[in-house]
Amino acid sequence: MSSRPQTGKTISNPVIPGFHPDPSICRVGEDYYLACSSFEYFPGVPLFHSRDLVHWAQIGNALDRPAQLRLPLGAPSSGGIYAPTLRHHDGRFWLIVTNVSGDGNLLFTATDPAGPWSDPIRLTGVHGIDPDLAWDEDGNCWCTVAGVSQFRIDPHTGETFGPPRRLWSGGPGAKAPEAPHLYRIGDYWYLLIAEGGTERCHGVSIARGRTPGGPFEPCPDNPVLTHRGTEHPIQNTGHADLVQAPDGSWWMVLLGVRPGGGTPGWHVLGRETFLVPVEWVDGWPVVGELSTDLPAPPWPLQPHTAVPGLDDFDFSDLAPYWVSPRRRSPEDCTTKERPGRLTLRARGGSLDDTDVTFVGRRQQHLSCRARALIDVAEGSGGLAVRLDERHHYDIEASPGEVRVRARIGPSNTVVASRPVPPGPVVLRIEVTAVQTVNDARTGPDTVSLGVEEPDGTFVELTSLDGRYLSTEVAGGFTGRVIGMFAATGSVHFDWFDYEPIGD
């Protein structure tokens, strides 16, 4: 095994924290680009840029127009957009995804990954999720999907040629062979897949063959990465993609989760994007140790470009990290009605419904604080921590009162209320990760909701157990999103502030 130079420094892993699953990566020159799944949220498929694989800045969302992303109001949470593959070929960027809530497999192109991206090319003959793209030496384009099967396609028209062919599908008896990625590396074609399901048994396996269609020889050391059956702080590791750096070194991005609390462990941020080094030994990849403190790459790191925590809504367009369930119309969400304010207009649906006016950002830290100044003279609304329609905590303001509501499955309860003086009010949510597990039933964190006095004092109305806003309780594939909503009429937000606590 070759020895990788060490800098003596470490970096924080995940490199893209919070609900950023199913990472797919490509490099063009010295620039790296990465895309993630977005499920029921609009705009869809967040896109990131990095020069060092460590510090990532969101440059946009590939699917930012209704013509690109059709999500019907009946689309369930954890439906929508699954598992993009991002590639650069013949001077263009190519993005292929599955919209499981209606349109199937779709292909988009762009000359600049920051956009604009094309309208979709529909791949009506390609059936399956997690589509991948690869081109062979003859210019044939191969689309490989979970299962694992493969189609030859015309990426310009979406036409398929011939029936699909079955490929190697992982180890004997392993469930859910998915997330295939096909690469030409040296003398072989390598087929990288995930298997075992995207929960605790998730893993990464690989096989190689002389042609894109195989036959494929599995790696004798499969799975090449998994944390199943361990107490490692990073679990559910899988759905990986490979990239080679300009210095010739190889790296893997993958998803994982950080469970907290006691048994069985609850992850609340969703599946996050991690980075790990890869060495090649006897023609097979050997994955390095995956840790929350990863040895830094042996090249200069770029300045950290953290997402700003405070948004005072002075720009006409919302920053790319703001997302909404299923749709966002300028009639219901605008910064142009009142300059320097975000105006949300209720559509008649509450947070319990699929048609709700909600704008949020992914929770990216285990402990964090979110605050917003809201004017409810023309309606009611507030702040919420959302996992889905049946699992959310919110603090809602109306003229003269604020109240906290907890939706946990079939239970929908106002758990606290308090009178407030007329005028705008600062609402506040604090998430505090549990540091000490007192017994096996200890939850992962607490969510405190309340108001802020003019001097900054936090008046907590209640504190709730965070486990009920976790994937282990709610199910699905997403993570928490913290944001603003309108319940009735119109509400106006002067600013929103998000900041980590102690991370």
- Residue 467 DSSP SS3: helix
Q: Report whether 501 contacts 430 (CB < 8 A).
A: yes
Rounded Cα–Cα distance for residues 191 and 294 (Å): 26
Neighbours of 327 (CB within 10 A): 22
Q: Report whether 393 contacts 406 (CB < 8 A).
A: yes
Cβ-proximal residues to 229 (8 Å cutoff; 6+ apart), any chain? none
Secondary element (H or E) of residue 280: strand 272-281
**Nearest alpha-carbon partner for 49 in 88, 76, 75, 83:** 88
Q: Of 178, 241, 272, 375, which one is the catalytic site residue?
A: 178
Is residue 178 annotated as part of the catalytic site, yes or no?
yes
Beta bridge partner(s), residue 446: 432, 465
Neighbours of 463 (CB within 10 A): 16
Rounded Cα–Cα distance for residues 22 and 477 (Å): 10
**Nearest alpha-carbon partner for 38 in 468, 254, 362:** 362
CA dihedral for 81, 362, 469, 341, sign (positive or negative): negative
Q: Report whether 44 contacts 81 (CB < 8 A).
A: yes
Q: Report whether 234 contacts 272 (CB < 8 A).
A: no
DSSP string, 41-78: EESEEEEEEESSSS--EEEEEEE-STTT----TTPPTT
Is residue 30 annotated as part of the catalytic site, yes or no?
no
Q: Of 22, 52, 130, 195, which one is the catalytic site residue?
A: 22
Beta bridge partner(s), residue 206: 192
In terms of Cβ atoms closer than 10 Å to its own Cβ (0-12, 13-18, 19+), residue 446 is middle
Tokens of 399: 């003229």
Q: Report whether 429 contacts 482 (CB < 8 A).
A: yes
Q: Report whether 93 contacts 113 (CB < 8 A).
A: yes
Rounded Cα–Cα distance for residues 128 and 238 (Å): 19
Q: How far apart are the first and last CA of the chain?
A: 35
Active centre residues (catalytic)? 22, 178
